[in-house]
Structure 1
Amino acid sequence: MTELCRYRLLAPVSAGESDDLLANKSPEDGLRRMQALLADWLRMENVVVLTAAGTSFSAGGRLMAGGRDTNLECRVLAAVQQCALPSDAAAIIKDRISRWPTEEKQGPTGFEEWLSYLFNAAELSQPKSSPIHTVRWKGKAPDGSDCEVTPSTDNIKKLQTLIERAIFAECALEIDRRELSEPDGTETSGHIPFLAKLAARDTNLGRTHLFTLNYDTLFEQAMEELGIQYFDGFSGKTNARFDPAVYGLDIYYPGDVTEGRVRRFDKFLQFYKLHGSIHWQSDVNGIMRARHRDLGFAASYRKADTKNRAKQLVSPSFESISSFGILPTSQKFSKTLDMPYAHLFRLLHARLNQPQTFLMVLGYGFGDDHVTRIIETALMNPSLVMLVVEPNSTSAIVEKIRRYQCLGQRAFVLTERVDEGASCSFQVATFADFSQNVMPDIKWLDDYKRLRSFEDQLRKVGDDPLDKREGAA
């Protein structure tokens, strides 16, 4: 039996062609066709990338769905429950956990809605001018009977603080830099090859615009590793402040300026964090500031068991964590109307309606209505081409893209080819696989990895105690 390409590229049905552009092709022919299409699309004037939680999964990120090991709610609430909580706050957490599915492989859903109720309850009675003294929280007793608690505002705020710290810790991810010093290795989170290949676009074309819904700083870390310059909406270094005017700037080599000849810096892109970031904080004047910090303290948190994660949540290293970004609640849309998020979403809408636009969507489940509506509006742009990368061929996302295809010949979805009766492997058409194996290769990334590997070997030799003794002798 002839081996078939492991990818499916689902496209609008056109005369004489299957809806799968890679149907009946060998792995080599299928990959060549996919890469040829990508190369053409990446030569379009306006390239826009939208990423979400799925792009962080291979680096240890959590999802809003999935089993308990990968589910954000399970990780967060299990740790918070082990903290020393007031009885009313403990009852709220216990009630929520009691509603989780009994099967370990099936995680809970509705975390955003539940968080919305919790955070709203804290805000209702907090202002001095509020006529609301407290709220009653519906719950269940251990025997299954109805049980209501009336938590104080302070106790709800304490619970909110612990949840925010736990979400921060789960998002404080770090790039595994070994993938740069091991050029022959296949393990990658996808960020480094993806950004390197994006940065290789012709500098005569428009700059790439990378939008992400993630709080983590994996893209920033990867860009710094690769020497890619970027503007993220902040100006300044030591205490950067949000200034959307920087998105109108670019970077050029000086050249012979007096003669009008300048050259664009090749490794550069525009970067937008639509829901904020773990390194964003508002100052006392309400101005958004950005300051990166060492994330090493959170690595031990994610590796610890539930009880030790709870201990760390109340440790001094976590006390400096304050509110950040647009947290996952159902009020996300209203938050996008505040500064600086309103600017960022306006820029996404404007960028997607530019002529000759190629939109890549990676790791996004189309669950945020305020984002999905912008994409659906952009499909009215007659020159927009959209590629969605989704590993699960039976996902509702695939059916959604098929409906989008009715709007024209411009919506494509790359997914895994699964044999009849088999299940998705979640190894094909993931962000890491797409970045490493599907996007067209570039030579400078291989050369860069070899250089970093050589530097790492020299560093190890320099650190060898035997070499130091011989040098001293």
Structure 2
Amino acid sequence: MTEEKKKRAVVTSFKPPRSSEWKPLQPEKDNGGSEKEARQNQDELHNVLLSSLQMQHLVVLAGSGCSMGAGGPSMLDLWNEVVGTNPSDKVKSVIDTVRYDITHKNIEALLSRIEASLALNSNEDLSKFLRNSKQNILKKCSGFLADEEKLEAHKTFVHRLSRRRVRDQRLKIFTTNYDLCFESAAGALGIVVIDGFSFSYPRRFDPRFFDQDIVRRPRNGSESATYLEGVFLLYKLHGSVNWAHKGNGNVVQEASPEPDEACLIYPAAGKYQQSFRQPHLELIAQYMASVREPNTCIIVTGFGFNDDHLSEPLISAVTSNPHLRLIVADPSAKEKLVDGNEYWKHLGELNAQGEDVWLISADFNQFAQLIPDLRSLSPADALVKAIRGVARTE
């Protein structure tokens, strides 16, 4: 990355509803931006995020962009892992069999073409390539978490969002990622994650566990039990690197499941149909219900709106749920509003129309730092902040 790109990368901004301009969070001296204006913008976004985190329901949709900051693979990385930067003759033969243009380095399109071909005719070479591809993807998505320091952004994100009032609903994180970033971050912080699996070994999936919670029992009978702080719910919509199918709908957690047993929705066009099989069906149902709850804030980060089965219900909820706030953080948000897919264009239209849609130009690491710490603002601090806000307006 050049120095100029690095300079641009740190200048985050946001676009409130009905605003025609993006508001910078750092002074843009080249455009005549002042430090006072930047501080006012920072305060505005801080107050919006602070009020959002205190809404009754808080939902997060996290995509691959969250893991890439911790060293996770991009779609191009998966292509290089499966096909190689310099494909062998054997790989080229497989690709030629399904008549795929190798210059288009789209792993999702390639695997979709292979799956479609195998659905019509069996082919040993294609089957072997597909199995090896899944094995390599499984390995690539699970082998980058050796260093806990890579998870600083995840730890900040989980720590700040999960510090909600216990009377509010638990934080819900829906993620399309296979990796264990959120689980590892929670483990490092000593936070309990309810992920739909039993607490006994082997850990078996049962959606009824999502309806359970953790309380702190009193030491004597004169006190009542209280909810444990920091607990959050995690829904892995496309499966996980440590989930294994054991037949008869039985899904357990294993350290290194075989590719044929791995409970993953691999990157291919068929992932839409796969999402309506168990356990993915249950997780999708939870997602559909969550985006339609009243008094809800949905935070989208690291998600490119390329999955129709997740993007469509979200956009629909914005237009049909009058008590919904949507916050989308993406480092390329400005560009995607102009030349992105139909969902990005729709987001831009909703934002311009005045719907409660806030757009933030920031990657996952930057956004994690923008999230207010709910316990850092005491009543005295809040009073001082309010007085300063009045003084600025006079």
TM-score (norm 1): 0.68
Structure 1 residue identity aligned to 2:185? A
* Native 8 Å contact 1:360 1:388 kept in 2: yes
Identity over aligned pairs, percent: 25
Contact 2:68 2:74 in 1 (8 A): yes
Equivalent AA in structure 1 for residue 356 of structure 2: R
- The code of the aligned residue for 1:362 comes to T
**Offset of residue 71 of structure 1:** 3.7
Q: Tell me whether 1:326 sits opposite 2:265 in the alignment.
A: yes
Residue 329 (structure 2) aligns with:
389
Structure 2: distance between partners of 1:218 and 1:333: 24
Q: In structure 1, what is the equivalent of residue 176 of structure 2?
A: 213
1: distance between equivalents of 2:155 and 2:24? 27
Letter of the 1:414 partner, please give it.
I
**Structure 1 match to 2:127:** 157
Structure 2 match to 1:49: 60
User: In the TM superposition, what whole-angstrom CA distance separates every residue of 1:73-127 from its partner, at most 9, and x where no partner exists?
Assistant: 1332117945xx8x5x6502367898344xxxxxx454323211212333444xx
Q: Structure 1 residue 60: deviation in Å?
A: 1.7
User: Are residues 1:239 and 2:185 paired?
Assistant: no
Q: Does 1:433 align with 2:372?
A: no
Q: Deviations over 1:248-306 (max 9, x none)?
A: 1111111278557221100200100001011111113341112235xxxxxxxxxxxxx
3-state SS, counterpart of residue 292 of structure 1: coil
Query: TM-score normalised to the size of structure 2?
Result: 0.80
Aligned twin of 1:410: 356
| Matched positions, count | 353
Aligned partner (choices 268, 278, 288) of residue 251 of structure 2:
288
CA contact (8 A) 2:111 2:268 kept: yes
The residue type equivalent to 1:6 in the other structure is V
Match of 2:285 in 1: 346
Q: Do the aligned residues in 1 keep the contact of 2:292 with 2:321 (CA within 8 Å)? A: yes
Q: Residues 96 and 400 (structure 1 numbering): CA distance in 2 closer, same or farther, change over 3 Å?
A: farther
Is structure 2 residue 333 aligned with structure 1 residue 370? no
1:205, distance to aligned residue in structure 2 (A): 1.5
Say if 1:196 and 1:269 are closer, same or farther in 2 by CA, change over 3 A.
Answer: same
Cα deviation for residue 245 of structure 1 reads: 0.4
Structure-1 residue corresponding to 2:48: 37
Q: CA deviation at 1:169?
A: 1.6
Note if 1:122 corresponds to 2:118. Answer: yes
Q: Give 1:22-421 correspondences, 5 Å limit.
A: 22=24, 26=35, 27-64=38-75, 70-78=76-84, 81=87, 90-93=92-95, 99-101=101-103, 108-125=104-121, 134=122, 153-175=123-145, 177=147, 179=149, 190-255=153-218, 261-293=224-256, 322-379=261-318, 380-392=320-332, 393-395=334-336, 396=340, 399-405=345-351, 408-415=354-361
Cα gap change, 1:367/1:320 in structure 2, threshold over 3 Å: closer, same or farther? closer
Residue type of the partner of 2:371?
Answer: M
Q: Is structure 2 residue 22 aligned with structure 1 residue 20?
A: yes
Aligned to 1:308: none
Shifted more, 193-202 versus 45-54: the winner is 193-202
Cα–Cα, structure 1 residues 262 and 21, in superposed 2: closer, same or farther, change >3 Å?
A: farther
| Structure 1 position 7 matched with structure 2 position 12 | yes
> 1-side partners of 2:100 and 2:172: how far apart?
43
**Offset, 1:377:** 2.1
Distance 1:158 1:200, change over 3 A: same
Distance in 1 between residues matched to 2:323 and 2:17, nearest whole Å? 15
SS of alignment partner, residue 284 of structure 1:
coil
Tell whether the 8 Å contact from 1:359 to 1:387 is kept in structure 2 after alignment. Answer: yes
Higher Rg of the two aligned structures: 1
Deviation at 1:369, TM superposition (A): 0.6
Tell me, in whole angstroms, the C-alpha distance in 1 between the residues paired with 2:346 and 2:132.
Answer: 36
Q: 2:60 aligns to what SS in structure 1?
A: strand
CA RMSD of aligned residues (A): 3.0
- Segments of structure 2 that go 5 or more residues without pairing to the other structure are 1-7, 26-32, 377-394
Distance 1:237 1:244 in 2: 15
**3-state SS of the aligned residue for 1:359?**
strand
Question: Does the aligned pair in 2 maintain the 1:81–1:94 contact within 8 Å?
Answer: no
Q: Report the Cα offset of residue 443 of structure 1.
A: 7.7
CA contact (8 A) 1:58 1:189 kept: no
Contact 1:12–1:405 (CA<8 Å) still a contact in 2?
yes
In structure 1, distance between residues paired with 2:314 and 2:11: 28
Please tell me the residue identity of whatever aligns with 1:440. P
Residues 368, 319 of structure 1: CA spacing in aligned structure 2 closer, same or farther, 3 A cutoff? closer
Using a 3 Å threshold, how does the CA distance of structure 1 residues 384 and 25 change in structure 2: closer, same or farther? farther
Counterpart CA distance in 1 for 2:267 and 2:349 is 27
Q: Which runs of 5+ in 1 are unaligned?
A: 65-69, 102-107, 126-133, 135-152, 180-186, 294-317, 416-428, 445-473
Tell me, in whole angstroms, the C-alpha distance in 2 between the residues paired with 1:443 and 1:173: 35
Structure-2 change in CA distance of 1:341 and 1:214 (3 Å): same
* Structure 1 residues 81 and 6: alpha-carbon distance in aligned structure 2, compared to 1, 3 A threshold: closer
C-alpha deviations, 1:367-407, integer Å up to 9, x for none?
01111111022111101000000101212265442123366
Q: In 2, Cα distance between the equivalents of 1:155 and 1:123?
A: 14
Change over 3 Å in CA distance of 1:47–1:121 after alignment to 2: same
